[in-house]
Each structure stands twice: as structure tokens, then as C-alpha cells.
Chains A and B, each alone.
Chain A
Amino acid sequence: MTDTAPDHLSGHVTTRIGHNQKDLVEGATGPWEVIIGLEVHAQVTSEAKLFSGAATAFGAEPNTQVSLVDAAMPGMLPVINRECARQAIRTGLGLGAQINLRSVFDRKNYFYPDLPQGYQISQFTQPIVGEGRITVDLPDGESFEVGIERLHLEQDAGKSIHDQHPQKTFIDLNRSGVALMEIVSKPDIRSGEEAAAYLGKLRSILRYLGTCDGDMSQGSMRADVNVSVRRPGEDLGTRAEIKNVNSLRFVRQAVDYEVRRQIELIEDGGEVDQETRLFDANRGETRSMRSKEEAHDYRYFPDPDLLPLEFDQAFVDALAADLPELPDAKKARFIDDYGLSSYDAGVLVAERETAEYFEAVIDPAGAKRDAKLAANWVTAELFGRLNNADKDITESPVAAVQLGGLIDLIADDTISGRIAKDVFAEMFDSGQEAAAIVEEKGLKQITDTGAIESVIDQLIADNPDQADQYRQGNTKVAGWFTGQAMKATQGQANPQMVNQILKDKLGG
């Protein structure tokens, strides 16, 4: 169990002013505005846990990555892992946030079998990172801003395993003490789509920074989603918190369900309970876990085993100077330098690996291939095939340099775009180089003017009526001739040359 932090969100005011008409949800009695804030737990990428030297690899045998500190043996003491603090600072910088040069670790006290200390070390009143702001793009090209309330470091709990014994619960402490960043947004999100987009953007930034692997299926990243509804312009409604949602799709589904539930509840004369809810992915619905009224009093107080975490501005500045290019900057550069559309650039930068692949395809320092052409190939053909094969871009059977080779063959008219698609399919299946496939299968484009002329002469001779229509200015017939010429050459004729020769011969 990862328990709920107390309400970092309560009392926090949205920084998003006004409301967009399209965000309102129509109920039976009129429009409603949806107010959403996310608390995202992101596992810090580090070799060792937050306060012990134990390893953090996922999937190890139960209780094999547990130090004396993680098991809360008597007399054991936590020591901060500097790498985790460094990663938290880098993340804060990536979120454009205030970095607090002094922060304090607190104990959050509650009893649970997978919490061996009987308290979680977290940061309550003085987190390592304060307010920030990120820009989130929506698929329709619109964008909106989400305020970051804070980011703090805390320990993960262990894992309870309920299916090993009919009466007993087994405990795996491998995760106990693993470093998490809890990133709390302001309630600036207005729909399930926006919530998913925010989480996706956050994930993207963290993955660019290398501070969290963002692997939601393995629990490296999970979101607690706070949802409330209100009449536009009125005071905030009572919110429900949906715990531990672990995919972008589920976030959207959970919010959409919860919004409908709350609106129907209120319109039927009921009231929303302030409570914790669980998203059931199989049923696509949320249901009550426990009410906040029963929630623990966590008795936070500064952990006396740890000194305040302090560092100087020079340390922060050095980390800032060493940050990688982040998605927003990369997108702007792709638009400016490569002339890509905002949409294409957005798609390409969403994942650091995709952006790197794309830039390797165009090879700006070397081959300087056509960026728009490369973007189309990556986002259409490559993504399509990867998607069908259920692979991500790091597993692509076609390396970036190979796709570059294919594009070169298009650019120098060795093959047409249409043939290139067949070649690419072959490359994807066999991993062969484009040039080798073209050579082997004899797919080279016919660029020999004489050969194309003889095909067209034959076509004109065989189809005198169409040729007359062409001469009388029926341009539709031009397309028909091109198609016939391509058909006659099994698609290998260069289409531009076909058009030019047709024009020369019939246009007079």
C-alpha cells in the first residue's frame, strides 16, 4: 500500500483563470465545470534506495533487495542518498520550479504491514521543490498550462501479497525505501483528456531528464487523481481522490467516469463524499475505498534521524547547466530548424527516443536529409508498423540510419515513394538495408527517358480517344494516363518523368 498523503491540494487555488466553454460538461440541469489535480508518484531512477544502500531493480526475488534499514531493524538509521536528491533537483529544474536550498524530511506515522518502520519518511512542510509550471499540448493542437504545487521526496512502502496463503498476507520489502518523487499539480486540469495529457507530458519530461523511467505498468509512475465538479464560477465542489491510476488511458477513463458519477449524484439531490476511490480498469468505473473521515492522523514531525537537506545555489546551477534539451525546447527547435509542423514536432518530441531516432534519420550533421519527408516516414510508416508489432521505437527492426538510407533512395529518384513503402515493409521484416532490397528485387525506378517514352507512345497509340480528350484540355485524363504508365512499369517509372513526357507528347 502506498498511503494517501494528506491534502497537499486542499486550499490550493487553481492558477487557471476563467473557463473554456468547450471544457464544460452538460448535465441534466445545466453545465458543469470539472476541476482536477494530480498527485503523481514517480520512482527516482537511482541504483540505490532513498535512505539505504539496497538495490532498486524491478522484478528481483521477494525480499532480496532489503537492507537492515529497509526492514526497520532496531537501531538502524537512514542516510540520504545524494543521487536521489540530485535527481529531484533536476526534475524540479525540468518543471521550471523553485528549488528549495533547504528542505526537511518528516515522518508520516501509520501502521501497515508493508511499512516496517511504522512511518514513512517524506517531506511535508518543506519540500525540496516548490512551485513550477508546465505547458501541456492536446491532440487538437491546443495547449494549456498546469501549475506545479510542489515536488517532494519520500520512501515507497513494501508490497503486500495476498494470494500466497488462504489466511495470511505475505510481505515483499524490495520496494520498501525506494525513492519516490511526489509531484503535486495545482487543480488546473479540466477534463479527463487534459489529465491524461498532463500525465503524458510529465512522464515525457521525467524521461527526458532520466529521473524516472516512467514505466507505468511496473509501477514506476502512478497517479492519484483528485476530481470535483462545480457550476461555472462557483466555489469548488467536494472532491474524490482516485488512487494509484497506472496508465494514461485509465486516467482519462477514471476521470470521465467520476465526472459523470458526481454530476448525476448532485443532480439527483445527493452530495459527493470526500473519499478515496479505486479505479477498476475491468469495469471502467471508480468505487469507494474508504472515507477520509476514517483516515489516519499521520502525526507528521521532522525526522530526528536526519538533518535538513541543504545545498547551495552553485550546486543547483551546475545541475541546471547540465540538463538535456527538454521536450518544449526540442519541439521549438524542430519547428524552427527543420520547418516541421507544430503537430509533427509535438509527436516526434513526446518521447526522447523518438526525437533521437528522428534526428538520427535526418542526420543534421551529415546527410541533412529532408526533415519533412523523414517526419512523415517516422510518424506514419514506422509508427504504424511498430504499433502493429507491439514494439517501441527502441526495439525498431529498422535502425534510424537504415531509414535514412531508404529516404536517400527516394531523394535521388532511385525508387518512388510508393515502391519505398514496399521496400520499408521488407526492411521491417528482414532488417535488410533498403539498397540491398531494391537491388535484389529489381525495384529501381525507371528513369531512362527512352524506356518511359516508348511506354507512353504505346499508350497513346492504343488509346487515341483518351489522347484526344487530353489534347482538348481534359486534365482528368492526364491522371488516367499516368496511372496506366505506372501500371505498365509495375510502379517503377518515375512519376514526375511520366508526367513530363505525357505533357510533352500530348500537350504540344
Chain B
Amino acid sequence: MAGTSDLTRLTIADAGAGLAAGDFSARELTQAHLDAMAAARDLNAYSAETPDQALAMADASDARRGQGDAQGPLDGIPLAIKDLFCTEGVLSTAGSHILDGFKPTYESTVTQQLWDAGAVMLGKTNMDEFAMGSANVTSHYGPCLNPWKAASGDAAGKDLVPGGSSGGSASAVAANIALGATGTDTGGSIRQPGSFCGIVGMKPTYGRCSRWGIIAFASSLDQAGPLTRTVRDGALMLGAMAGYDPKDSTSVDIPVPDYAAALTGDIRGLRVGIPAEYRMDGTPPEIEALWQQGRDWLRDAGAEIVDISLPHTKYALPTYYIVAPAEASSNLARYDGVRYGLRVEGEDIIDTYEKTRAAGFGPEVKRRIMIGTYVLSAGYYDAYYLQAQRVRTRIADDFRAAWDKCDVILTPTAPSAAFAIGEKMDDPIAMYLNDIFTVPASMAGLPAISVPAGLSADGLPLGLHLIGPAFAEETMLRAADVLETAAEFEGRQ
């Protein structure tokens, strides 16, 4: 049997192989993670740990394997689950005070599929409240820390944010206290924390994974995806997470391919688009340089680099900050203190609503509810919401035109490396700009992935971002795998 710390450093693929070979049991693998979690609580990556459940699931996995009935590459693999997923009998709060004590009687489709594939739940991970944030600082459970530290610069020695909103999931995977984690991505909430924590974060095509049982932020944008230490692990997790669900009208009924089989390493002739509009003023030179490096790596692997234009890129972020809050303002109306979660009793029902929501939602959630309510209001609807929907169509059209010229698009993931906790807190716009490169793909519903590609001058991870056509996850993953190989990213030492 390998040493405990070795077990937590495995990839999902290698752990699966070790389990299959009988090198260690699922229980040993799970226990190693539970021990590591206990030792890493200062990260605040988990908002709820489920050790009993984890060990029971691990034992069940070992029993299956003992009977020759192992379910596949995820059987016995310990995973962390973003707290946005409803998990039966386990606290599910979306990082919000308003869902205090909420233990669903149901299991989200995506997590159920993971458990059906034999995976083991370690716990629920910290996140920005209702997935609204890019630094995991809006959580009711306090900020989550990035396991990385800057070696130099302004942030040297300070606690850094893991990105957000799937900050706890990214931090857990980067800190080796989960082999992989689920996240959700609305405007970049998987990819940006992936970039900040030096791991792979993938947002599949909208409709690829069921949203049933995932606490809604912005329904037309939310999509579940994996955070993993390798592209291959992401492919393995997505294989179990994806699939049509009749309970989600927006899920798409097309077969789930063997994503790992797409990782051939061969991208000869692949056309990689470089969108001119992603060269933005103020982007740090080291990010520009990494982007150039990414182009070179892919070209060296036989890809063809193509200049493309996505003219409406600059409208994506402002448009996103109309559409997402609009939907959120409505989605969050159900948190009224009547049926579950927090209730602050008032004089009458209206007073109870007001007191409950005033106490239960944090400032960022309130800000977005206000924005969303405003843009849907009579007299403003046409100018904001309707206009935003029109622009959204243009953004999707830009991509559609681009696919005539290229097969995937390469961009930076985020405009900076991880920053110190407390930064940008007083400036929502600066915080929102974190998603400048990730939001356009979200608006178009396209699959995208962040691959750790290098380090900043201060020694912090930086990701490169690949966007693919709808349901072309295989092509995107193949390119991501080549990028990962070329980058030889070491991970956190």
C-alpha cells in the first residue's frame, strides 16, 4: 500500500488503476482524504464534511469490487461536491445563511449519477453565496483560501482567494483533499477558480448535464462541470455527470461519448482560433505572453492557428450582468422563510419576508436581486433585459460564424492570477471583470475549459482557456490534453 499522502496526490485515472489492481482499497483511499481534510481545515474548503457517509460509500465500493462488480473509472473515487448541489440528507446551503439547516429529501441528478458510478462523497464545498462571486468571499461560511501562496509581489505571504464561485471545490482539489470535485459555472465559476488554483476546470455545453437538484442562480447559464487535476480526470468525471434528464427541460438528449477516449494527443490539422477582441487593454503582459505561449504549443503539436473575430465580445460582460441577475432575482424569490431554511418572524407575512430575506442574503446577493429586479421592471425591461437578450443572440452568432474558420478557440482564462483576500471587495466592477474572458462562452452556452499552463511572475498559477462548439467537448478536451502535456504544469509543490 502506498503512503497516505501519496494516495491524496493521485489522479483519478491513477487511483482508479490502483483500486483495480488492488494496490489499495476505496476505504484506504477515502480515509487518506478524510485525514487530509481534517489537517487542512484552515483552508475552509469544505462547508460540510461527510466522513461517515464517505466511509460507508467506500466500503460499498470495495464490496462491489470484491464481487467483480466495479462500476467503472469512478468507482471508489472520493469527490468533493459543491454546496450548490442538493444532496439527500446532507446540508445543502448554496453558501447562504438563508438555507440554514436545509437538508434536501432528494439528490441532484448529477450527484446521483456520480454515486451510481461508484464515487464517494467526502463533503460539500464552500462557495460564493448562491454562486455569486469570483473570489469565494461572499460565502456565509467565511472565505475559502487558495492553497497557493505568492512567492513575491504585493500578495506575497497573504492569504489568497481561490476564485469563485466554485472556490471550495477548486481549493480542495488543488490542496489534495479531494481527487476531483463538482462545480457549477454560470459566467466562469468553474474555469476562473480552476485557473486561480492551478487545476483543470471544465464547463460543458449548456444542456449537457442536468440542472435538476442544483440550486438555481441563473437558469439559462448554470451548468455543472468537473474540477480536476488533469484533463483526463475531467473527461472521466464528465462522462458520469453528463446525460439527458427528462426532469430538466433544457437538458439535451444526445448520447454521452467516451470523453477519455478522445484524448489521443493528436491535434494535427486542428484549427485554433485566436479572437482579436480578447486582446484587451490592461491585460497583464505575463497573461499575454502565456497566451502566445499556448498558441506556440498548439502550433508545435500540429494545429493551425487562425485569427478570428468575435465582434460582440465587449458586450458580453455587461449583458451577463443583466441576464444573470434578472434570472436570479426571480429564482431567489422562493427563499421567503415559509417552507425551509432561515425564518425571521415578523409582524405579518410581508414583514417576515422582509426580515428573513434581509437577514438571510448577503450584500452581493442583495445587489444582484436589486439589479435583476430593476432590469425586469416595467419601463426598463425593453432597454435592459430585452436588449441584453438581443445582444446575447449576437454573441452566439459571433461564435457560430467563428466555427466556419476554427475548431476551438484559445484565450486566457482570467485577467490575473489569484489575488489577496480583501482585494476588490469594495469594487464590484473590478470583481466582475474576473470573468471577462469566460462569460462570452457562457452567454453562448458553449463548452469551455481552463487548463493550468504556467506561473505568474509571483509564482501563482495561470490558466489557458479553450472554447469549443456546442457538444464538441471531445475536440476541446483533445486540445486541452495536448496543451496540458506541453505546459508540463507541475502543480502545487
Contacts and interface: CB of A to CB of B under 8 A. Distances in A.
Interface of A: 68, 71-80, 107, 109, 111, 113, 116-119, 169, 171, 297, 299-301, 303-307
Contact of B86 (A74, A118, A303): A74
Contacts of B334: 72, 74, 116-118
A68 B106 contact: yes
A116 B338 contact: yes
Contacts of A80: 249
Contacts of B309: none
B104 A79 contact: no
Given A75-B216, A79-B246, A304-B250, 5 more contacts: A72-B339, A113-B349, A119-B333, A299-B376, A306-B249
A141 to B, nearest CB: 46
30 contacts: A73-B106, A73-B340, A74-B92, A74-B102, A74-B334, A74-B340, A75-B104, A75-B211, A75-B212, A75-B215, A77-B211, A77-B249, A79-B246, A107-B330, A109-B376, A113-B338, A113-B349, A118-B333, A119-B333, A297-B378, A299-B373, A299-B377, A299-B381, A300-B376, A300-B381, A301-B381, A304-B327, A306-B249, A306-B250, A307-B249
Given A116-B338, A117-B334, A118-B330, A78 B249 contact: yes
A119 B330 contact: yes
B99 A74 contact: yes
Nearest to A6: B378
Given A73-B104, A76-B212, A305 B339 contact: no
A79 B249 contact: yes
Interface string B326-362: 1101101110101110000000011001000000000
Contact of A301 (B104, B249, B326, B333): B326
A119 B328 CA distance: 12
Nearest to B334: A72
B213 interface: yes
A111 B333 contact: yes
Nearest to B338: A113
A307 B339 contact: no
Interface string B226-249: 000000000000000000001111
Contact of B339 (A78, A107, A116, A306): A116
Contacts, number: 100
Most buried by B among A71, A74, A75, A118: A74
B218 interface: yes
A267 to B, nearest CB: 34
Contacts of B92: 74
Contacts of B381: 299-301
B94 interface: yes
Contact of A304 (B99, B220, B373): B220
Contacts of B373: 299
A118 B372 CA distance: 14
Main secondary structure of the interface of A (DSSP, over half): loop
Closest 10 CB pairs of A and B: A118-B333, A304-B219, A299-B376, A304-B220, A72-B334, A75-B213, A74-B215, A75-B86, A297-B378, A75-B215
A306 B212 CA distance: 13
B437 interface: no
Contact of A118 (B220, B247, B336, B349): B336
A111 B212 contact: no
A76 B214 CA distance: 8
B419 interface: no
Given A113-B349, A301-B326, A75 B248 contact: no
Nearest to B353: A111
Contacts of A74: 86, 92, 94, 99, 102, 104, 215-216, 334, 340
Nearest to B245: A77
A58 to B, nearest CB: 23
Contacts of A306: 249-250
Most buried by B among A72, A73, A76, A77: A77
A299 B102 CA distance: 29
Contacts of A305: 216, 219, 249-250
B385 interface: yes
Contacts of A68: 105-106
B113 interface: no
A304 B218 contact: yes
B108 interface: yes
A7 to B, nearest CB: 12
B361 to A, nearest CB: 13
Contacts of A111: 333, 336, 350, 353
Interface in B164-221: 211-216, 218-220
Given A74-B104, A109-B376, A304-B219, A299 B330 contact: yes
Interface in B294-350: 326-327, 329-330, 332-334, 336, 338-340, 349-350
A300 B108 CA distance: 28
Contacts of A79: 246-249
A171 to B, nearest CB: 8
A71 B339 contact: yes
B249 to A, nearest CB: 5
A326 B108 CA distance: 47
A303 B333 CA distance: 14
Contacts of B338: 113, 116, 171
B168 to A, nearest CB: 18
Contacts of A299: 329-330, 373, 376-378, 381
A303 B85 CA distance: 21
Interface string B357-393: 0000000000000000100111001000100000000
Contacts of B385: 301
A116 B338 CA distance: 8
B485 to A, nearest CB: 37
Contacts of B250: 304-307
Interface in B76-116: 85-86, 92, 94, 99, 102, 104-106, 108
Nearest to B386: A301
A299 B384 CA distance: 12
A307 B220 CA distance: 10
Contacts of B213: 75-76
A77 B339 contact: no
Contacts of A73: 104, 106, 339-340
A71 B340 CA distance: 10
A172 to B, nearest CB: 13
Contacts of A118: 330, 332-334, 336
Interface string B119-152: 0000000000000000000000000000000000
Most buried by A among B94, B102, B330, B385: B330
Contacts of B214: 75
Contacts of B105: 68
Contacts of B330: 107, 109, 118-119, 299, 301
A297 B215 CA distance: 26
